[in-house]
Amino acid sequence: GRDGTHLRDFIASDLDAARGGMSEVVYRRARHVITENDRTREACDALSAGDLARFGILMNESDRSLREDYEVTNRELDAMTSIARSLPGCLGSRMTGAGFGGCTVSLVLRDDADRFCAELSRHYQEATGRAGETYVTRAADGAGVISG
Q: Could you tell me which CATH number the domain at 7-128 has?
A: 3.30.70.890
Contact 32, 69 (CB under 8 A): yes
Residue 4 CA: distances (Å) to CA of 15, 18, 40, 60: 12, 13, 20, 29
One digit per residue, the tens of pLDDT, for the chain of length 148 reads 678 889 999 988 899 988 998 999 999 999 999 999 999 999 999 999 999 999 999 999 999 999 999 999 999 999 999 999 999 999 999 999 877 778 999 999 999 999 999 999 999 999 999 999 999 998 888 888 888 8
- What pTM value is reported for the model? 0.90
